[in-house]
């Protein structure tokens, strides 16, 4: 149980750190990489590594979600991790002057940002419309009283 709590806390910290860094990166000129970009690469890379080594933290969509969304839920989660991994690798490769073939790193960040926005809206909808406590999984326990 203690290992699960530690993993959950690490996942929460990396999730929110990566999200904030993503939107900070999207708000600055793409020629400015520096510490902000490397922080995103490290936190996003650590989150992806955690997923690759230990799998998804959530153990399913919960009973309130049904139908197509229930079946799609784990695949949507995996898709988010794949987009994050693509953005991390593209940004790191571009930073060391070895850009990947295909879209620019900025495009990868924009695609990830759009997907993250839909991800947030989906979980806000789940938490408010389905009342399944979806936000409690990713928000630290000390903040649950505000949900």
Are residues 89 and 100 in contact, defined by beta-carbon separation less than 8 angstroms?
yes
> HEC states along 90-127?
HHHHHHCCCCCCCCCHHHHHHHHHHHHHHHHHHHHHHH
Are residues 91 and 109 in contact, defined by beta-carbon separation less than 8 angstroms?
yes
What pLDDT score was predicted for residue 93?
Answer: 94
pLDDT-wise least confident of 5-19, 45-59, 105-119, 125-139: 125-139
Residue 82: is its pLDDT beyond 90?
yes
What pLDDT score was predicted for residue 137?
Answer: 78
Its pTM stands at: 0.91
- Percent of the chain at pLDDT exceeding 90: 59
What pLDDT score was predicted for residue 32?
Answer: 64
pLDDT tens by residue, 14-67: 999 999 999 999 998 766 678 899 999 999 999 999 999 999 887 778 788 889
Closest CA to 105 of 48, 22, 35, 49: 22
């Amino acid at each position: 149980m203690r290992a699960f709590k530690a993993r959950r806390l690490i996942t929460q910290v990396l999730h929110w750190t990566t999200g904030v860094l993503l939107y900070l990166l999207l708000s600055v000129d793409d020629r400015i990489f520096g510490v902000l970009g490397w922080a995103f690469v490290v936190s996003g890379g650590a989150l992806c590594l955690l997923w690759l080594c230990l799998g998804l933290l959530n153990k399913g969509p919960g009973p309130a979600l049904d139908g197509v969304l229930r079946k799609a839920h784990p695949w949507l989660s995996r898709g988010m991790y794949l987009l994050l991994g693509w953005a991390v690798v593209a940004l790191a490769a571009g930073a060391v002057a070895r850009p990947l073939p295909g879209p620019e790193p900025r495009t990868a960040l924009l695609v990830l940002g759009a997907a993250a926005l839909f991800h947030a809206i989906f979980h806000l909808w789940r938490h408010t419309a389905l009342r399944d406590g979806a936000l409690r999984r990713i928000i630290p326990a000390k903040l649950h009283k505000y949900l």
